[in-house]
Amino acid sequence: MKNKFIQNIVNEIRPRKEAKLEEELPLNEEFEHLQEMANYSKRDTGLPMNTWIERTEIKNRGGHYIQLKFQLNTDLHCQKNKTASVSLADNKVVNKEQYINSPKCKLTDNDFTQVENFAYNNNFALRQVHDEVITESEFLAQLMIKGGERVNENRVLSAVEKTKKLIRQNIDNHYYDSDKSILEKAQKAVID
């Protein structure tokens, strides 16, 4: 199931024939890259740009943050070095002023606000995707609060409870038994 989901994403992000890129990554390399970053198309999220949840923690000014990366334009495909990130620690774009004044950036202030709101609305579930406690397909199909409008706190808390319920079901169904570290993260997530 997960392989089919990833294959669909690979097919979606592979350049169209008319793009005529010099070199296309072999499927196995794209698959490995997708294992590192969970990709969400703007169609899936309701945002004006594509986004990714980074699987690694990034060191920034002496601290660590989990990030939701996003492209700096509304094109179908992201271009190298044209991305920014939202820290899930505070749901703010990291170094926002730098990007707003950059010629690489084709987003409006409202676009930045939408991606920050998306991070706020989906923060708990995005952290669980980062920790591999829930899958990308579980997030997309069952848990995501779509779009860039900030929702009220009750809706966010309801989404957190729905995510915890899914994690509890996964624990009960022994979904995490093969990886003790993910099981520990799952157990911690339902307690917090």
- 49-99 pLDDT, tens per residue? 999 987 665 555 445 568 899 999 988 877 777 889 999 999 999 999 999
Query: At CA 169, angle to CA 148 and CA 33, rounded to 5?
Result: 55
Torsions phi, psi for 85 (to 5 deg): -145, 155
Burial class (CB in 10 A: 0-12, 13-18, 19+), 46: middle
Residue 15: the pLDDT is 39
Which position has the higher pLDDT, 12 or 78? 78
Q: Which two tokens stand for residue 32?
A: 């490995």
Instruction: Collect all residues with Cβ–Cβ distance below 8 Å to 48 and sequence separation of at least 6.
Output: 42, 74, 107, 111, 114, 148
What domain range includes position 27? 2-191
Percent of the chain with pLDDT over 90: 60
Query: Look-up: residue for tokens 């994690």?
Result: 167
- pTM of the prediction? 0.77
- Indicate the number of domains in the chain: 1
Across 126-141, average pLDDT = 93
Which position has the higher pLDDT, 189 or 61? 189
Helix 153-172 crosses helix 123-130 at what angle (to 10 degrees)?
30
**Mean pLDDT of the residues in the chain:** 81
Tens-digit pLDDT profile for residues 137-147 = 999 999 999 99
Across 29-48, average pLDDT = 70
Residue 66: the pLDDT is 85
